A and B are shown apart, each in its own frame.
Chain A
Amino acid sequence: MANLLWLQGGACSGNTMSFLNAEEPSACDLVTDFGINVLWHPSLGLELGDNVKQILLDCISGKIQLDIFVFEGTVVNAPNGTGNWNRFCGRPMKDWVKELSDAAQFVVAIGDCATWGGIPATAPNPSESVGLQFLKRAPGGSLGTSFKSKAGLPVINIPGCPAHPDWVTQILVAVASGRAGDLTLDEFQRPKTFFTSFTQTGCTRNMHFAYKVSATAFGQRKGCLFYDLGCRGPMTHSPCNRILWNRQSSKTRAGMPCLGCTEPEFPFFDLAPGTVFKTQTVMGVPKDMPAGVDKTGYVKLTAAAKAAAPAWAEKDIFVV
């Protein structure tokens, strides 16, 4: 039996909604098949008011063993570092986060906001939001770079806006079933099993990427979304086209550009007008290249690909 506590800071509940839609395993499977005891969750917990507070205090004191502390949303520090804009059970949430993280065997940050600040931390960041151990790409965050939970791991970051439900439940099962030692984390403390490949890996538009044929409107089934519509699939680490959403689709499969929501910089360019859904270029050349590709190589590759492109690559082969 592993005790799990889930709290929300500066959050929209999107990751909770995602979590509750998990299928392999489902949220119910966590309880019935994998021995996870949900101490409290904002959408599932039965306790209210002082009873919730008592659970938190018992976790901090050790009266209740806290095995997994899950946090969703940013840690809010406004105004002026006090955290009073986000109070919970009579005190700033950031204070609960600090003490519960110190008490927990494992700490798991769910979603971009909890991992590195996400949209609330976008400039000018009026809520003074940070993630648990990062603010965007900068290490530190609310708990500091040296933080390790009782089990000796830093915060396990599962980013996304929202995170895919199965990323969440599969990591929780691994931790709850004593296989946390099998997890390897990347430089941003994301489980490598999910965040080593790219969103582009498994994308159905890869042949259009290869032959440099661009989609020019949302929803088109022909063409690659990278060249014109701002798709960040070639440089975003996520398994969105390997572990499909709703078991059947993904943004790019539906004709919607990847927004890069598992990367620390999300949302990119501070959401300045004209930067969303538009590939940013300098004199016609993409500002952000596919990971590991330089400009010279990209130009050469494009010339070769265009010269070699077969006629079918220019047609909508999905319409017959």
Chain B
Amino acid sequence: MSAADTNETLDKITKLLAGGLKTRTEGIPETEKEFGEILNELRALAPDDLEGKLVIGGFINHPYGEEQYRCMECMYYLVHRKWCDLPELAVPVEPDWWCRLWRI
């Protein structure tokens, strides 16, 4: 994905989340089995189904919970690219966002 495409996609996601897109923030996977089930749901999506990824991933545009978990500390987050490197997501993200596939 080119830098221009990345920026365009990031802008699109920002607008979707700011516009109140209802995503699945409940059902945070506690086990690898549950984590794997969410991945399977994501794999079933069309590659360009951006909204589906956000909904199933449970994206929010702010840190999560008392401990303020955020993409910035997630294993899949590439700081310099502002990119989620989890293959099933593979989307540009802001450091202060969070999703339920977060892991550290």
Contacts and interface: CB of A to CB of B under 8 A. Distances in A.
Interface string A260-291: 00000000000001110011111111100000
Interface string B22-41: 00000010111101100000
Contacts of B32: 274-275, 278, 280-281
A216 B73 contact: no
Contact of B72 (A228, A275, A278, A303): A303
A216 B84 CA distance: 11
Range of interface residues on B (Cβ < 8 Å) = 20 to 34
Interface string B70-89: 00111111111100011100
Nearest to B74: A284
Interface stretch (A41-49, A90-98, A306-314): A306-314
Contacts of A298: 104
Contacts of A217: 87
B65 to A, nearest CB: 9
Q: Indicate the member of B30, B32, B36, B77 with the most A CB atoms within 10 Å.
A: B32
Interface size bracket, A side: 20 to 34
Nearest to A314: B78
Contacts of B36: 274, 278
Contacts of A285: 103-104
A282 to B, nearest CB: 7
Contact of A302 (B35, B67, B76, B104): B104
B38 to A, nearest CB: 12
Contact of B79 (A273, A274, A314): A314
Contacts of A303: 72-73
A213 B69 contact: no
A214 B75 contact: yes
Contacts of B69: 284
B86 A216 contact: yes
B85 A216 contact: yes
Contact of B85 (A214, A281, A282, A299): A214
Nearest to B86: A216
Contacts of A213: 78
A221 interface: no
Contacts of B35: 281
Contacts of B76: 214, 216, 228
Contacts of B81: 314
Interface of B: 28, 30-33, 35-36, 67, 69, 72-81, 85-87, 102-104
Report the 6 A-B pairs with minimum CB-CB distance, sorted nearest first: A284-B103, A227-B75, A311-B80, A214-B75, A314-B78, A274-B32
